[in-house]
Chains A and B, each alone.
Chain A
Amino acid sequence: MVRHNAGKVTLCFPGQLSRVPDEIGTRSGGGYNLPHPFLEKAWEKAGFDLSSFFFQREEEDRYLNLKLQVTSYLLSMIAFDRYRRKGGKWDFITEHSMGIYAALVAAEAVTFEDGLKIAKGIGLILEQAGEKRPGGMAAVIGLEAEEIKRICAEVPGALYVANVNGSRHFVLSGDVASLERGIELSLQRGAISVNRLTFTAPLHSPLLESITEDVREFMAGFDIQPPQTRLVGHWSGKYLIDPDEIRDFLVEELHRPVDWEGCVQHLLSQDVTCFVEMGPDNALTKLIRWIDRDVKALSYGVQDAL
């Protein structure tokens, strides 16, 4: 039994991993040695081999973020499958950034196969956007919101707050030169740490409005059903209910900021007392610990599934 208390439980689907998990990329692949049906499907439908971390098609294999994106989707889905099979319960589903694709599958709004195609397809669009107009992102820890806003305003180019992950945890997004200046200023103003993320596109910033039509066109081909679990989107704490609204969310979330703190606060107001992170990492778990020290937050992981 995974449930820990009488309050409500939220499953949290994290965004893209920032590195390849240790268990992955160390085995020979080519579609063999795939111990989970989801991994077999990833090989058949997306040409991606998780155990050796490569795409069959060379032009796809050169994109690190695309591989991390598909890896994140698969590992979240495996964690969710494991949790469900072991009798885990949940009342809400929420997600952070690109975690929306796995969250939609868990909420039965799209199929696993379509979730995989969407994660990969949008990942490709982002990689191409990053090639056309390079940008980047950086996590800034320790500064307060006012200081972060000041830094964005002071930098002469395009620099935005892409994630509000907590009262002193933010992600900046912008063009390369502006981001570098933003990193420099953040360190000068006393940030405890500033980590450049792997993204080459300025995700969750208005700079990505340019790909809106490409994403909308790509999404038009997918069947989306109303979620079967209350699904809370990452920028407003609002429930995603209607399929057309979900389609719009998938297009717009790429150029709108993530308000993870707001999302968690909304769920806390709904009597959620336990958050379970679906994936190999515990980044969301630690962010929740920062937002509310009293609530239970844990990472479910993929331990015996790989």
Chain B
Amino acid sequence: MTGVTEGLIADVKKLIIERLKLEEIAVEDIGTDAPLFGEGLGLDSIDALELVIGLEKEYGVSIPDAEVGKKVFQSVRAIAQYIVDNHGREVAAADGAS
């Protein structure tokens, strides 16, 4: 695990809540390493599409196909790591602020 800050983890959780309109869920309710689909938050493929768009808009990173999506959407930490590995544009700003 490299380059993933607590700030980025919190931002990814906020993105999930905002994108999926999870009005009754707070950042602290989402486990950083908990599965997002099936068990855990119980997200589905329509939610995955929302997250793909959210990641493109917020961080400029794209999910090219289902295989990559499956790996990236395993957990909040996996999403954050993918943003770092793919040079998501807000990472530098987030690190600079911390």
At the interface with chain B, which of A43-51, A189-197, A218-226, A248-256? A189-197
A195:B21 contact, CB within 8 angstroms: no
Q: How far is the CB of B42 from chain A (nearest CB, A)?
A: 10
- Residues of A193-212 at the interface with B, using a CB-CB cut-off of 8 Å, are 193-195
By secondary structure, the A interface counts as mixed
Contacts of A293 in B (CB 8 A): 21
- CB of B34 to closest CB in A, whole Å: 19
> How many angstroms from the CA of A141 to the CA of B63 in the assembled complex?
13
**Which chain A residue lies CB-closest to B43?**
A286
Residue of B20, B48, B50, B65 touching A190 (CB-CB under 8 A): B65
Nearest B-chain residue to A195, judged by Cβ: B45
B64 at the interface (CB under 8 A from A): yes
Contacts of B20 in A (CB 8 A): 289
From DSSP, what is the main secondary structure of chain B's interface residues? Answer: helix
Count of A-B contacts judged by CB separation below 8 Å: 44
CB distance from A166 to the nearest CB of B (A): 8
Chain B contact patch, size range: 10 to 19
CB closest chain-B residue, reference A186? B66
Q: Would you call B49 and A168 a contact (CB within 8 A)? A: yes
Chain A min CB distance to B18 (Å): 10
Residues B66 and A286 in contact, CB atoms below 8 Å apart:
no
Question: Does A124 sit within 8 A of B, measured CB to CB?
Answer: no
- Contact between A169 and B21, CB atoms less than 8 A apart: no
Contacts known (A191-B66, A192-B63, A192-B66); A169 close to B49, Cβ less than 8 A:
yes
Q: With CB as the reference atom, state the residue of chain A lying closest to B44.
A: A286
A187 contacts the other chain (Cβ, under 8 Å)?
A: yes
Would A194 and B66 count as touching, CB distance under 8 A?
Answer: yes
The answer to whether B21 touches A187 (Cβ under 8 A) is: no
Residues from 52 to 85 in B contacting A, C-beta threshold 8 Å: 52, 63-66, 69
In the complex, what residues of B have CB within 8 A of residue A191's CB?
A: 65-66
**A194 partner residues in chain B, CB cutoff 8 A:** 66
Bound together, the chains give a CA A45 to CA B44 distance in angstroms of 35
A193 to B49, CA, bound (A): 9
Complex interface bits, A173-195 against B, C-beta within 8 A gives 1, otherwise 0: 00000000000000100111111
User: Are A193 and B50 touching (Cβ within 8 A)?
Assistant: no
